[in-house]
């Protein structure tokens, strides 16, 4: 192989490696997403990416958003709701989890998985309208 060929291969390798780094090569939390007429469902997992998951959206009227989190026994999650516009209601429910208020914040809950593997839901709604950012951290 000529020197030019080696140079071209190294250049392409560096280019694609740089694109991965710049675009953020961390795997996504999202396992599945479904959008219905007035409901959005997002299913996430922290098995491939331990960084916090951020979900920025809007709800209002009949429209609701649900984030379903896959968790395993012993896992602890912090659910933080950051209100931007309006008043958004947040409900956390599911079997095999314990939900507690976090003393560190008003709109923050701690969810502990106590039973095997579970899929718990974070439901978000508002009337008449609200914008929010939901931050879910695996502690």
Mean pLDDT per 10-residue interval, the chain, length 139 residues = 50 45 59 85 87 89 90 93 90 92 84 91 91 92
What does the pLDDT read at residue 24?
47
The pLDDT of residue 7: 44
C-alpha pair distances (Å), 53 with each of 22, 45, 106, 113, 118: 19, 9, 19, 18, 18
Model pTM greater than 0.95?
Answer: no
pLDDT at residue number 92: 93
Which pLDDT score, from 0 to 100, does residue 104 have?
A: 76
Q: Report the pLDDT value the prediction gives residue 10, as an integer from 0 to 100.
A: 53
Query: How far is residue 101's CA from residue 85's CA, in Å, rounded to a whole number?
Result: 23
The pLDDT, as a whole number, for residue 100 is 92
- How confident is the model at residue 15, as a pLDDT? 46
The answer to whether domain 28-138 has CATH 3.40.50.720 is no
pLDDT at 106 (0 to 100): 81
Distance CA 23, CA 73 (A): 33
Domain definitions of the chain by residue range: 28-138
Return the pLDDT at 48: 80
User: Given this model, what pLDDT does residue 122 score?
Assistant: 94
């Amino acid at each position: 192989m000529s020197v030019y060929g080696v140079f071209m291969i190294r250049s392409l390798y560096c280019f694609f490696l740089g694109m991965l780094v710049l675009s953020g090569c961390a795997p996504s939390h999202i396992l599945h997403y479904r959008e219905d007429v007035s409901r959005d469902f997002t299913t996430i997992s922290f098995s491939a990416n331990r960084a916090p998951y951020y979900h920025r959206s809007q709800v209002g009227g009949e429209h609701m958003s649900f984030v379903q989190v896959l968790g395993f026994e012993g896992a602890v999650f912090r659910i933080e709701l950051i209100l931007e516009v309006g008043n958004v209601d947040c409900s956390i429910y599911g079997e095999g989890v314990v939900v507690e208020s976090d003393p560190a914040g008003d709109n923050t809950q701690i969810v502990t998985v106590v039973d095997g593997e579970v899929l718990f839901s974070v439901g978000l709604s508002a009337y008449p309208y609200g914008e929010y950012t939901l931050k879910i951290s695996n502690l």
